[in-house]
Amino acid sequence: MQKDIGTSSRRVATQGKATVLALGKAFPSNVVSQENLVEEYLREIKCDDLSIKDKLQHLCKTTTVKTRYTVMSRETLHKYPELATEGSPTIKQRLEIANDAVVQMAYEASLVCIKEWERAVEDITHLVYVSSSEFRLPGGDLYLSAQLGLSNEVQRVMLYFLGCYGGVTGLRVAKDIAENNPGSRVLLITSETTVLGFRPPNKARPYDLVGAALFGDGAAALIIGADATESESPFMELHYALQQFLPGTQGVIDGRLSEEGISFKLGRDLPQKIEDNVEEFCKKLVAKAGSGSDSLKLNDLFWAVHPGGPAILNGLETKLKLKPEKLECSRQALVDYGNVSSNTIFYIMEKVRDELKKKGRGGEEWGLGLAFGPGITFEGFLMRSL
């Protein structure tokens, strides 16, 4: 028997397939209420433009976000007032803040995850480290390894600047490692902060206000491994992974690093591009479910979809004719945390796990995990609930 769960009450993982063995998350201490955001944000950056205030208030309502967590705080802005000054070359200051914050959140999420796993930190053989929020040599993967006390022979992989689909890319890499190295246990980390992109609003950069109303900070940690031991409790099988990019769409999500930090531009056609291509992508994943895939309908699945914003979720729901409850975990993660880039998919997976646990054996067996990002890149997983 695996810990706390009788064999009669759970599905059996496919031999040799990677599974999620534990999951943890962490956030900075500064909590941002969307209800109070406009007044506080504009006061801290000393902006009294009424048109900007009206636009931000509108965005705060349409994003559906209620709470977020941020490294950026009143104390940070008092220490680094130049961060709120238009045109200031502040990349050095931003990296000073972000590099430490990203590793600290990753460390805290790892501790939560390892506690749930209930095995020794020395049993971690590989580390996959994902972030679009820090930049240095050596990278945060090394600092985290030292802080956690991982073996100096732990095999490390760093995935930088992938954006919102980075978590699913990390999951795909972790799956390949786990399945090709028998007995391995992979610690997958995602950690993100908006410090690099924080800037005062400018009418020439309308997307900055979207970022102020939508994005948050945090970290997630997972233990991935195949062929669980008696002491482990796998809850999700990573059955099949797929990545594809849409040719000719490199400019739809455009991010640039400069002396002022990182800036983004999103094409207005992003939701439509995703909508036009997502059905075929999903069908490719579902086909890998095996002999029963022909009868498997999209509404028979559980869903974990990275919520770039409400428009993407709404378009996907309409295009795929999904029942409203199918994307409820994705919508609720957006409400609770905002868009936390690569982390968000794992906050959703945690909510999916809790929902499936409530349903017991009557819950959906198969599901899809999806994320979209620069490229336009689609990352997807066919998963199986255990």
Residues identified as active-site: 164
- For residue 386, the SS3 value is coil
Given CA atoms 106, 109, 115, 117 in this order, what sign does their dihedral have? negative
| Residues in contact with 101: Cβ distance below 8 Å, sequence separation at least 6, in sequence order | 28, 71, 193, 195, 217
**Cα separation, 6 vs 27, whole angstroms:** 33
Beta-strand pair 218-226/236-245:
unpaired
Q: What is residue 359's DSSP assignment?
A: H
Phi, psi of 192 (to 5 degrees): -140, 145
Helix axis angle, 344-359 relative to 328-337, nearest 10°?
A: 130
**Cα separation, 263 vs 142, whole angstroms:** 27
Query: Within 10 Å of residue 257's Cβ, how many Cβ atoms?
Result: 13
Strand ranges in the chain using DSSP code E only, listed in sequence order: 18-26, 30-33, 67-70, 126-131, 155-160, 186-192, 218-226, 236-245, 253-258, 261-266, 302-305, 366-373, 377-385
What is the length of the chain?
A: 386
The radius of gyration of the chain from alpha carbons, rounded to an integer in Å, stands at 21
**Cα separation, 196 vs 90, whole angstroms:** 9
**Cα separation, 233 vs 254, whole angstroms:** 40
